[in-house]
Amino acid sequence: AVPSIKDPHTHGLKVLEALRRYISRGPVMAFCFGGEDAISVARRVTGYTDPAQAEPGTVRGDLGVDSIEKSTQEGRAVENLVHASGSPEEAQAELALWL
């Protein structure tokens, strides 16, 4: 189970630090899906955030070996292989950051 968040600011900083450590371990590839319904298509292809619960046929379902439960117990970010924006606004901000 995911622990309750007593201090959202401190929790956010811990999450950011865990993500920084994860993505700093090796190469990162940034790319952009384009076209009609690109966000929903990208999210469908990547699969559920928790690789342990992702459907077969998705990136996380076929290639993921981690779980949110395990990563939480170990105090680290879940290694879910890929990120997909959840909204046009989020995509715009992330494209500006990465590309």
pTM of structure: 0.79
3-state SS record for the chain: CCCCCCCHHHHHHHHHHHHHHHHCCCCCCCCCCCCCCHHHHHHHHHCCCCHHHCCCCCHHHHHCCCCHHHHHHCCCCCCCCCCCCCCHHHHHHHHHHHC
15: pLDDT strictly greater than 70:
yes
Across the range 61-69, mean pLDDT stands at 97
Q: Domain spans of the chain?
A: 28-98
Amino acid at 24: S
CATH superfamily of 28-98: Nucleoside diphosphate kinase-like domain (3.30.70.141)
Lowest mean pLDDT among 16-25, 45-54, 57-66, 74-83: 16-25
11 has catalytic annotation:
no
Catalytic residue (one of 52, 83, 91, 94) = 83
